[in-house]
Amino acid sequence: MRILAKVKLPEVIDLFSGCGGLALGIQQAGFSITHGIEIMESAVKTANMNLSIKKGLPPLHICGDITQMDEHIFNDKIGKNGCVIIGGPPCQAYSLIGRGKLNSLVKNEYSYLDDKRGYLFEDYLRFVIGTGARAAVMENVRQCVSFGKINVPEYVADVLEKHGYTVYWTILNSADYGVPQIRERMILFAAKGNLEPIMPRPVYSGLLYNNLYAGVGLKEFQKYPHFIMPLKRRRKRPAWITVGEAIGDLPELQTAVAKSYQSYPVMMGLPYSTEPQNDYQQRMRENTDEYVTGNSYRNTPRDFPIFARMKEGDNFVSASAIADRLFESECQNRHISPESPEGKMLRKKIVPPYSRDKFLEKWKKLDRNKPSHTLVAHLFFDTYSHIHPWEPRGISVREAARLQSFPDDFVFPCSMGDAFKQIGNSVPPLMAQGIGKVLRKLLEEQEKKYGFTK
C-alpha cells in the first residue's frame, strides 16, 4: 500500500451556506473553502466577511437561488485535487417547529409537503454529481427522515451509491464536540469508492447528565440500510460544556430590572467582564483583544420583571404565574379591580398575552449548570426561548454565538434580527470541525486505495 506523506486536500464548495458555521468548522479542520451559495443576502455578507475577506481573500460566496443555477457553474474553477461538497438544505419543511407553523397558516397537517424548500436536497445532489465531487457532507435536523414518505438521507444515499459513492449517515449531538448546547443533527458522509465508514469520536461526555438530554430513539433508525449508530461516549471524557462556562466572561448588559435598557449596535465592541475563566472561553477569545462585538439584545420592558423572578430552568408556566402575581400586586397597590377598565389596561402592560396551553416552552430560562437547549432561527423574532440565566433579559447576539461555538472574532455585519436568524440556522463550528476531521480521514483512505485524478 502506498504511504502518503501528506494528502493534498480537495477544495470545498459550500451550498446553503447560511452565515458559514459548517464551512468555518471544515476550514478549521484544514480545508480551503473556495466557493459558496446562499440565498439570504445578509448571511452571504457575514460568510464572506469571516471566511474570506478577513483573510485577505476576495468574496467567495455568492448570493442566489440554487434552483436557478447550473450545477456545473464551478467546474472550470475546480483545481487538480478535485472538490468536496458540503451543505445543509433548509430544514423548515422537516422540523416540527417549521411544520407546525405551516400547518397553522393553511390549516392542513400535510401542508409541509408543499413547501418547495423540502425538496432542495435534489439540488444538493445535482451539484455533488455535476461537479464529480470526491466527497460530500450533508447536515439536517433528525426529522428529515420523515418528509412525507421520503427519508431524505436514505434517498440521497441511494442516489449517490448508484454513482459510485460509499454513503452513510448518523445522528450527532453537538454537545459531544465541545458545543455548550444540546443539538442533534443528521450528518451524512459520502466518498467516492468502496471505503470503510469512519465515525466522529465524541470529545466530551454527557454521562454526567445520565443521557437524559440526547440520543433518545436512535435505535429506531437502525432499520435504515445506511444508518450507523454514533460512537458511545466515554466516561473519561470531560463533561459537556455548560451555559455558565460558555458565557460567564461576556459583558454585563443589564444587571437589574431598574437599569435602563441600552441599545448596542451589533458591531459595537464592549470590554469583557472578566479574564477567561476556562478553556472554552480561552478558545472563543483566541483571536480577540479586550473588546467583543455582538452585544445587542432585545428591549422587552414588560418582561424584564418576570425574567428577574424566574428560576433557572423555568418555562412559560412559571413565567405566567409570576406575571399574574405581579399584576395582582399592582392592582392592590393602585386600589383598582382587576376586572375594571383600568385593570384590563394594566393587565396588558404586565401579563404576556400568549396561550398558556400552546406556549409552554415558548419561554425558557437557561440553567447555568447545564448545556443550553437547541437554538433555533425563531430567535429572529424574539429571544424568549433563551432567557439569560442571571441577568433579567434575553440572550445577546454574542451569547447566542457562544452557545453555538462561534469564536468571538466571528462578526455579524447585519441587523440584530438577522444575526439571531443566522446563528439559529447554523451548524455549530466545533461540531463541524469534528465532521471535517472525519472527512479528511475518508479522503486519506480514498487516496491510499485509489489515488486521485480529477
Q: How far apart are CA 336 and CA 331, in angstroms?
A: 5
Residue pair 74/10 in contact (Cβ under 8 Å)? The answer is: no
Among residues 376, 242, 412, 379, the alpha carbon closest in space to that of 297 is found at 379
Supply the DSSP symbol for 205. Answer: B
Q: How far apart are CA 362 and CA 314, in angstroms?
A: 11
Among residues 364, 356, 333, the alpha carbon closest in space to that of 346 is found at 333
Among residues 319, 351, 355, the alpha carbon closest in space to that of 338 is found at 351
φ, ψ of residue 334 in degrees (nearest 5): -95, -5
Which residue type, as a one-letter code, is found at position 296? Answer: S
Cα dihedral value 147, 83, 51, 203, nearest 10: 70
Residue of 19, 83, 91, 414 with catalytic role: 91
Compute the half-sphere exposure of residue 419: CA atoms within 13 Å on the CB side of its CA.
26
Characterize 127-157 residue by residue with b for buried, 16 or more Cβ atoms within 10 angstroms of its Cβ, and e for exposed.
bbbebebbbbbbbbbbbbbebeebbbbbbbb
Residue pair 395/347 in contact (Cβ under 8 Å)? The answer is: no
Strand 33-38 to 135-141 pairing: unpaired
Q: What is the DSSP track for 226-259?
A: TB-PPPPPPTTSPBPPPHHHHHTTSPP--SSTTS
φ, ψ of residue 165 in degrees (nearest 5): -100, 145
Residue pair 131/190 in contact (Cβ under 8 Å)? The answer is: no
Which residue type, as a one-letter code, is found at position 28? Answer: Q
91 is catalytic: yes
Tell me which residues are annotated as active site. Answer: 91
